[in-house]
Amino acid sequence: MELTEESTSRFVELPTQGKLHYNEAGSGHPVILIHGSGAGANGWSNFRSNIGPLAESFHVFAIDCIGWGRSDAATADKYDHVAMVVEFMDALGLENAALVGNSMGGMIAIAVAARHGDRVSHLITMGPGAFISTPTMFGAGDGPTEGIKILLEGYANPTAATMKKLVEIMAFDEEFATDELAELRATGAAARPDHLANGLKSFVEGGPVRNQATWEEAKGITAPALLIHGRDDRVVHFEHTLRLVSTIPNSRAVLLNRCGHWAQIEHADEFNRLVRDFVLSA
């Protein structure tokens, strides 16, 4: 049976973080997929090309972070996505899991691995920022990258036209910047104006990831790490992953040519194979 968003949809109430929505499929070792930021982002829109294939080998959970998707709203000062992941695992009885995070989700996964190492069996990231206590999400003119700029525009003006521009910047190949994906993001954004207001304010106040891992914390990560990045990423430069692979002790980096910010979408087959082989063998 083909998996759908509704057939895999679940909710769980977390002790301090509120009601969290997630999509669940498969059985075996737990793999938690953590989406990136931006208006209309959620677990299904980020990982719909991966949930089914990975569920053939693993017990897959694609979460909507608190403040996104169908999960509870929260203002930026209340974001504690590290606690969210740990509480989610506790609620579902998951002793440890492989964490797979894209962009913001990668930053969350790194922080969980740094602070709760016994709960993380494998760490897999795609396009996260690294140690952004220093200015790193900037382009050549010292302003935000074009990807960050369009993310902000998406919060302020979440139309299908804006989302079409967003997916065009996120992807290297226009084949993957589909009207369907743009509409999916626009529909998700329109459904939750509270998320839009809180998300826009979070960028003004310092970004959606609070208390990210420091360089010193990342040096102490013990989980094996697979760090995937698109060479043509226009949101977060691949230099961030080069910094991470030189810092996390048991890590390896995969740089994908002709790939933007969404490796899991543009190179879905290769991404799914990389994750499957890494979790089964590392």
The tokens for 178 are: 């589909």
Q: Rounded distance, CA 274 to CA 281, Å?
A: 11
Cβ burial, residue 140 (10 Å; 0-12/13-18/19+): exposed
What is the amino acid identity at position 109? Answer: A
Q: Angle CA(168)–CA(31)–CA(68) in degrees, nearest 5?
A: 50
Distances (CA, A) of 276 to 209, 221, 244: 27, 21, 21
SS3 per-residue string spanning 212-235:
CCCHHHHHCCCCCEEEEEECCCCC
Are the CB atoms for 215 and 246 separated by under 8 Å?
no
Across the strands, what pairs with 10?
Answer: 22
Nearest Cα residue to 130 out of 270, 229, 201:
229
Distances (CA, A) of 169 to 172, 182, 229: 7, 12, 15
What is the amino acid identity at position 47? Answer: F
Q: How many other β-carbons are positioned within 10 Å of the β-carbon of residue 52?
A: 17
240 is catalytic: no
Cβ burial, residue 180 (10 Å; 0-12/13-18/19+): exposed
Catalytic residue (choose from 21, 229, 261, 267): 261
Catalytic residues: 261
